[in-house]
Amino acid sequence: MSMIFFACVVRVRDGLPLSASTDFHFDQDFLECRKRLKVLSSILAQYPSRGTAKGRDLSIHFLSSGDIACMAICSSNYSTIMAFCFLEELQWEFAASYDTTSISLASRPYAFLEFDNVIQKVKCHFNCASSSQTKANWEKIEEELKFQPPVQLQLEDTELMNGMTNGGHAGVHVEVGKLLLHTGDIPTYRMQRVTPLGILSLVLNIMCGALNLIRGVHLAEYSFQEDHEGIGNVIAFLLPFLACVFQCYLYLFYSSARKVKTFVLFFSVCLCNVYLYGLRNLWQIAFHIGVASLSSYQILTRQLMEKQPDCGV
């Protein structure tokens, strides 16, 4: 049967498994393939970002980008193009769910086990997908693979199994041209273009941050010398300054849990400005909250660029 049997996400630098699908295959060929996948995952850093290890009945496909790599065990007659469509979809979902810091700090296997639900869902979609659903992107992916073909490995190669004991060097014969790593071979996750309104929100945010910093520093000098009870006001000025800085960062760069972080920053600005009533008049408070509202709206509406390819899933 032509299908995807197993998929997992691993950390490239050491092969640590981060998440995997739940499999119920116990035949000897599959278990042997799982062992080879584990060994291959520990030496992925030696290979280009796309690769395929072909076997008689089962094949391993892998796609790495940055800190993570997605790997899949498929039947050997399963389309290579479809396999890489699946891996790119999986990689996109994982990158949208977890940031690089949490991935780097993961210390135990399957630290993101809850992602198993996503893997199962995507795997089911691709196993059930018809040719008409993938036809739109088929030619595009096929052209990409022709231009930047995946490195070809032999699943039965005993050197692959000895890779860890031989210092992590796998004796696999590949063409030099297939070992070249091209920038375009690595999927990137880019934000949509910055809009004029977004630029305005950045300028206003920087201005509000500067005002908060200046007022906070001046008030701190006075408070530490004479009025020790004014420390709360100093904090209420400096917190919005930090919030403005992080709002600019969230607008310019992608981060996981953006919505939660945006609302936390917005409410921090609102609470601090309400606390400062008396040191600021209503118009000043309204201005700062208005700028925070505009920045929050711009952060939430600036999304990742549409992923390519999605293979109709």
Dist CA 238 CA 220 (whole Å)? 10
Beta strand pairing call for 50-54 and 4-11: unpaired
78 token code pair: 């399963």
Point out which residues pair with 62 in neighbouring strands: 51, 71
The torsion angles phi and psi of 68, rounded to 5 degrees, stand at: -120, 160
Amino acid at 2: S
* Residue with the two structure tokens 């014969």: 173
SS (H, E, C) 189-213: CCECCCCHHHHHHHHHHHHHHHHHH
Predicted confidence pLDDT, tens digits, the chain (313 residues): 678 999 999 999 899 999 998 877 778 888 888 888 998 988 888 888 889 988 888 999 999 988 899 999 999 888 888 888 889 889 989 999 998 889 989 889 899 989 999 999 988 888 887 655 555 566 677 777 888 888 888 766 534 555 544 444 434 333 333 333 333 333 444 677 888 998 999 999 999 999 999 988 888 877 666 655 678 888 889 999 999 999 999 888 877 778 899 999 999 999 999 998 888 899 999 999 999 999 999 998 887 654 444 444 4
